[in-house]
Amino acid sequence: MNKVIVTLVGKDHTGIIASVCSYFAENDINILDIKQTTVQEYINMMMIVDLEKCTMQFSEIVSGLDAVGKKVGCVIKAQHEEIFDMMHRI
Amino acid sequence: MVELGEVFETDTMIRDENLDVRTITMGISLLDCCDSDLDILCDNIYEKVTGAAKDLVSVGDEIGLDFGIPVINKRVAVTPVSIVGASACGTSEDYVKIAETLEKAARKVEVNFIGGYSALVQKGMTAADRMLIRSIPSAMAATERVCGSVSLASTKTGIDMDAVKLMGAVIKETAEMTRNEGSIGCAKLVVFCNPADDNPFMAGAFHGVTETDSVINVGVSGPGVIKRAISKVKGQNFEVLCETIKKTAFKVTRVGQLVAKEASERLNVPFGIVDLSLAPTPAVGDSIADIIQEMGIEYVGAPGTTAAVAILNDQVKKGGVMASSYVGGLSGAFIPVSEDRSMAYAAEIGALTIEKLEAMTCVCSVGLDMVPIPGDTSVETISGIIADEMAIGMINQKTTAVRIIPVCGKKAGETVEFGGLLGSSPIMPVSRYGCKDFIDRGGRIPAPIHSFKN
- Tell me the per-residue pLDDT of B427-447, one tens digit each, with 9 for 90 and over: 999 999 999 999 999 999 999
Q: At residue A65, what are phi and psi to the nearest 5 degrees?
A: -70, -35
Partners of residue B114 on adjacent β-strands: B76, B146
Residues of A in contact with B67 (CB under 8 A): 79-80, 82-83
Q: At residue A12, what are phi and psi to the nearest 5 degrees?
A: -75, 140
Arithmetic mean of pLDDT, B257-268: 96
Asked, as a colleague might, if the bond just before B401 is cis with ω within 30 of 0, I would say no
Using the Cβ of B67 and the Cβ atoms of chain A, whether some distance falls under 8 Å is answered with: yes
Closest chain B residue to A62, measured at CA: B65
Query: What are the pLDDT digits (tens) for B309-331?
Result: 999 999 999 999 999 999 999 99
How much is the pLDDT for A34? 94
**In Å, how far is B324's CA from the nearest CA of chain A?**
10
Q: Given the DSSP bridges, would you call strands B444-445 and B158-160 parallel, antiparallel or unpaired?
A: antiparallel
Helix (H, G, I), strand (E, B) or coil at A11: strand
Does the distance separating the beta carbons of A48 and B11 come in below 8 Å? no
Residue B94 has pLDDT above 80, yes or no: yes
Residue B1 has pLDDT above 80, yes or no: no
Percent of chain B at pLDDT above 90?
A: 94
What is the C-alpha to C-alpha distance for residues B398 and B392, in angstroms, rounded to an integer? 8
Q: What is the mean pLDDT of chain B?
A: 96
By mean pLDDT, which of A74-78, B4-8, B56-60 is the weakest? B4-8
B8, B1, B23: which is closest to B256 by C-alpha? Answer: B23
- Which residues of chain A are modeled with pLDDT < 50? none
- The residue among B453 and B313 whose pLDDT is bigger is B313
What is the C-alpha to C-alpha distance for residues A63 and B11, in angstroms, rounded to an integer? 18
Q: What is the 3-state secondary structure (H, E, C) of chain B?
A: CCCHHHHHHHHHHHHHCCCEEEEEEEEECCHHHCCCCHHHHHHHHHHHHHHHCCCHHHHHHHHHHHHCCCEEEEEEEECCHHHHCCCCCCCHHHHHHHHHHHHHHHHHHCCCEEEEEEEECCCCCCHHHHHHHHHHHHHHHHCCCEEEEEEEEECCCEEEHHHHHHHHHHHHHHHHHCHHHCCHHHHHEEEEECCCCCCCCCCCCCCCCCCCCEEEEEEEECHHHHHHHHHCCCCCCHHHHHHHHHHHHHHHHHHHHHHHHHHHHHHCCCEEEEECCECCCCCCCCCHHHHHHHCCCCCCCCCCHHHHHHHHHHHHHHHHHHHCCCECCCCCECCCCCCCHHHHHHHHCCCCCHHHHHHHHCCCCCCEEEEEEECCCCHHHHHHHHHHHHHHHHHHCCCEEEEEEEECCCCCCCEEECCHHHCEEECCCCCCCCCHHHHHCCCEECCCHHHCCC
Query: What are the pLDDT digits (tens) for B366-393?
Result: 899 999 999 999 999 999 999 999 999 9
Complex ipTM, two decimals? 0.90
Residue B124 has pLDDT above 80, yes or no: yes
What is the C-alpha to C-alpha distance for residues B398 and B366, in angstroms, rounded to an integer? 8
Does the distance separating the beta carbons of B257 and A83 come in below 8 Å? no
**In Å, how far is A26's CA from the nearest CA of chain B?**
21
Q: Given the DSSP bridges, would you call strands B71-78 and B113-120 parallel, antiparallel or unpaired?
A: parallel
Of A46, A80, A81, the CB nearest to B4: A46
Does the distance separating the beta carbons of A36 and B2 come in below 8 Å? no
What is the C-alpha to C-alpha distance for residues B404 and B382, in angstroms, rounded to an integer? 8
How much is the pLDDT for B454? 84
How much is the pLDDT for B136? 98
Of A36, A77, A88, the CB nearest to B2: A88
What is the C-alpha to C-alpha distance for residues B415 and B120, in angstroms, rounded to an integer? 33
Size of interface A-B (CB pairs under 8 A): 61
Residues of A in contact with B6 (CB under 8 A): 84, 87-88
Arithmetic mean of pLDDT, B176-199: 96
How far are the Cα atoms of B145, B148, B443 from residue B203, in angstroms, in the given order?
10, 7, 27
Arithmetic mean of pLDDT, B287-304: 97
User: Cβ neighbours of residue B251 under 8 Å, at least 6 residues apart?
Assistant: A87, A88, B13, B225, B323
Q: At residue B138, what are phi and psi to the nearest 5 degrees?
A: -65, -40
DSSP code of residue A86? H
Closest chain B residue to A58, measured at CA: B66
A82, A69, A62: which is closest to B254 by C-alpha? Answer: A82
Residues of A in contact with B260 (CB under 8 A): none
Residue B145 has pLDDT above 90, yes or no: yes
Arithmetic mean of pLDDT, B114-128: 98
How much is the pLDDT for B319? 94
Arithmetic mean of pLDDT, B184-192: 97
DSSP code of residue A90? -
Whole-structure pTM value: 0.94
Closest chain A residue to B320, measured at CA: A87
Arithmetic mean of pLDDT, B264-278: 95
Arithmetic mean of pLDDT, B246-251: 95
Residues of A in contact with B254 (CB under 8 A): 86-87
CB B83 within 8 A of CB B209: yes
What is the C-alpha to C-alpha distance for residues A7 and A33, in angstroms, rounded to an integer? 12
How much is the pLDDT for B453? 85
Percent of chain B at pLDDT above 70?
A: 100
C-alpha B168: how far from chain center:
19
What is the C-alpha to C-alpha distance for residues B97 and B39, in angstroms, rounded to an integer? 9
DSSP code of residue A2? -
Using the Cβ of B37 and the Cβ atoms of chain A, whether some distance falls under 8 Å is answered with: no
Does the distance separating the beta carbons of B67 and A82 come in below 8 Å? yes
User: Cβ neighbours of residue B382 under 8 Å, at least 6 residues apart?
Assistant: B167, B168, B171, B172, B373, B404, B406
CB B371 within 8 A of CB B423: no
How much is the pLDDT for A64? 95
Query: What are the pLDDT digits (tens) for B200-226?
Result: 999 999 999 999 999 999 998 889 999
Does the distance separating the beta carbons of B11 and A77 come in below 8 Å? yes
Closest chain A residue to B252, measured at CA: A87
How much is the pLDDT for A39? 86
Residues of B in contact with A84 (CB under 8 A): 2, 6-7, 10
Does the distance separating the beta carbons of A83 and B6 come in below 8 Å? no
Residue B345 has pLDDT above 90, yes or no: yes
What is the C-alpha to C-alpha distance for residues A74 and B202, in angstroms, rounded to an integer? 38
Residues of A in contact with B258 (CB under 8 A): 82-83, 86
The three-point CA angle B231-B232-B237 to 5° equals 90
Residue B79 has pLDDT above 90, yes or no: yes
What is the C-alpha to C-alpha distance for residues B35 and B241, in angstroms, rounded to an integer? 55
What is the C-alpha to C-alpha distance for residues B434 and B450, in angstroms, rounded to an integer? 30
Closest chain A residue to B10, measured at CA: A84
**In Å, how far is B296's CA from the nearest CA of chain A?**
28
Residue B395 has pLDDT above 80, yes or no: yes
Q: What is the 3-state secondary structure (H, E, C) of A13-82?
A: CCCHHHHHHHHHHHCCCEEEEEEEEEECCEEEEEEEEECCCCCCCHHHHHHHHHHHHHHHCEEEEEEECH
How much is the pLDDT for B332? 87
Helix (H) or strand (E) holding A85, with range, is helix A82-88
How much is the pLDDT for B365? 85
Arithmetic mean of pLDDT, B392-397: 96
How much is the pLDDT for B270? 97
